[in-house]
Amino acid sequence: MMKVRQRTVTRALVGAVRGRASTPSSTAPTHVARVAITVAAALLVPISAAAADLDPITCWWRTSVAAVHVGQPFDVVLTCAVLEAEEATVVPDESRLDPGVVQLPPFELLGGRHAKDLHVGPRRFLQYEYTLRVFTDDAFGRDVALPAFQIPFRVNTRVNGESVQGRSRSYVLPSMPVRVLSLVPVGAADIRDAPDKRFADIETRLFRANVLTAVAGVLLAVAAAMAVATLVRTFRRSGSHKATPARFLVSDNLVLRAVGRELSTVRRRRNATGWTDALAARASAALRIAGAYAVGQDVNQIAVASGAQPHAGQLLVRSGVTRTRRIAVSAATTSGMIAHALETEGPRKLRRDRLEELRLALGSFTTVQYGQTRDPDGDALDRSLRAGARLVRRLTLEHWWRMGRLKRGRGLWVR
């Protein structure tokens, strides 16, 4: 491409010279000849430079800011244009330009990167970016120069189709000043900033401190009162080891969930060991409590001390998060009471199918618990246990969502 360009420029120059020679009467070259000569000379400069090994590499600095403060990071960009032609190729030593190797004292190198090279005609442009900062106590208000930088390179030429490596040469990039700004006026006697505090700020902080002190005193008094009340209650209860009767110590929903867990425990134990008198008694106690809720009867709730154990027929329910209470829950519901409820209430208000299943289940477990037989019907007890579990789940759902209601006194389980 350079040969074609050279031949084109040469023809233009020769044509211009011939045009001037064909007019001997003219004492000066024409305007067209002047333009042609000027353009040809401008176009022939890089070609002759490449041929004569002149300016094979050109580099320059560029900063991101015109002036910086001490300690302020800023970017410095190094750009080089190297010759890459068919006759000659410039190969710079780019290992000296790597951000991990280059040193530019008195500036501190924080990092850098190498951008992708660009090719424009017979030139290749390479560019490196460096992030610098300066830390010197004598740089305030002065120009600090980037040091002169040497870039080694070689010029490889092609002779008779073979590449010939030239000798090592160096390109010296001149230094470039960077202005470092002063942080304080020239006449300042002290570089320390004066505190930005006023009387109003002091008054505001004092008022805030007084308010916080008062709030802390109130909270401390409340905490002390709560601590005293807790200690008094603890000492009062520590002297009593007997069970004290009470009503409605825990909610109905909590009791029903405990009944459901008890029936699940009985089912797992039955699958492991089979039916025993103890398992039948536990299932019977749980179904009696569920039956009391189904027919609207009250359940007995008794607070049990930590050292006491519930009696037979009672279900232990625990409540509380930080301080757990132990409540023994029991009920005196019988299959006869459920049958009487079925007879006295109208069919439109009764969920007769559920109550009938509960009556049969409670009767089966009562027979095993108090009867004379020693060989209980396991299949019948399994059916009774499943029916009781279904009823308890239904009751728990009704209490949780408040979809139904329990009537005390008259009360059967109605909608």
Whether 66 and 169 share a structural domain: yes
Looking at the structure of the chain, the number of domains it has is: 3
pLDDT of residue 37: 36
pLDDT of residue 194: 65
pLDDT of residue 188: 62
Strand spans (E) along 213-321: 244-246, 300-304, 315-319
- Can you tell me which residue has the tokens 């209980």? 376
Whether 97 and 147 share a structural domain: yes
Q: For the residues of 171-212, what is the DSSP string, one character each? A: EEEPPEEEEE--SS-TT-S--SPPP---HHHHHHHHHHHHHH
pLDDT of residue 102: 92
The phi-psi region of residue 264 (left if phi > 0; otherwise alpha if psi is between -120 and 50; otherwise beta) is alpha
Q: Per the domain annotation, does 33 fall within a domain? A: yes
Amino acid in position 135: F
Whether 358 and 402 share a structural domain: yes
The phi-psi region of residue 17 (left if phi > 0; otherwise alpha if psi is between -120 and 50; otherwise beta) is alpha
Contacts of 210 (CB under 8 A, 6+ apart): none
* pTM over 0.75, yes/no: no
Q: Per the domain annotation, does 147 fall within a domain? A: yes
Whether 32 and 122 share a structural domain: no
Contact present, 157 and 163 (Cβ < 8 Å): yes
Element of type H or E holding 213:
helix 199-238
Residue 290: give the domain boundaries.
244-414
Q: Per the domain annotation, does 211 fall within a domain? A: no
Question: ∠202-207-208 over CA atoms, to 5°?
Answer: 100
Q: Per the domain annotation, does 204 fall within a domain? A: no
Residue 11 sits at φ, ψ, to 5 deg, of -60, -40
pLDDT of residue 367: 78
Q: Per the domain annotation, does 259 fall within a domain? A: yes
C-alpha distances in angstroms, 213 versus 32, 126, 219, 220?
96, 67, 10, 10
Whether 311 and 167 share a structural domain: no
Contacts of 150 (CB under 8 A, 6+ apart): 96, 170, 171, 172, 173
Q: Per the domain annotation, does 334 fall within a domain? A: yes
Return the CATH number at 66. 2.60.40
Q: What is the mean pLDDT of each run of 10 residues along the chain (415 residues)?
A: 44 39 36 39 41 73 91 94 90 92 93 93 94 88 91 90 87 93 68 72 92 96 94 74 54 84 87 83 85 82 80 81 79 82 61 76 78 71 83 79 44 38
3-state helix, strand, coil in the chain (%, to 5): 45, 25, 30
Q: How many CB atoms lie within 10 A of CB 288?
A: 24
Q: Per the domain annotation, does 187 fall within a domain? A: no
Whether 30 and 64 share a structural domain: no
Whether 285 and 389 share a structural domain: yes
User: Which 3 state secondary structure label does DSSP give 24?
Assistant: coil
Whether 396 and 269 share a structural domain: yes
Whether 387 and 253 share a structural domain: yes
Whether 121 and 155 share a structural domain: yes
Last residue of a domain, one of 145, 161, 180: 180
Q: Per the domain annotation, does 24 fall within a domain? A: yes
Whether 282 and 319 share a structural domain: yes
Whether 71 and 162 share a structural domain: yes
Contacts of 373 (CB under 8 A, 6+ apart): 367
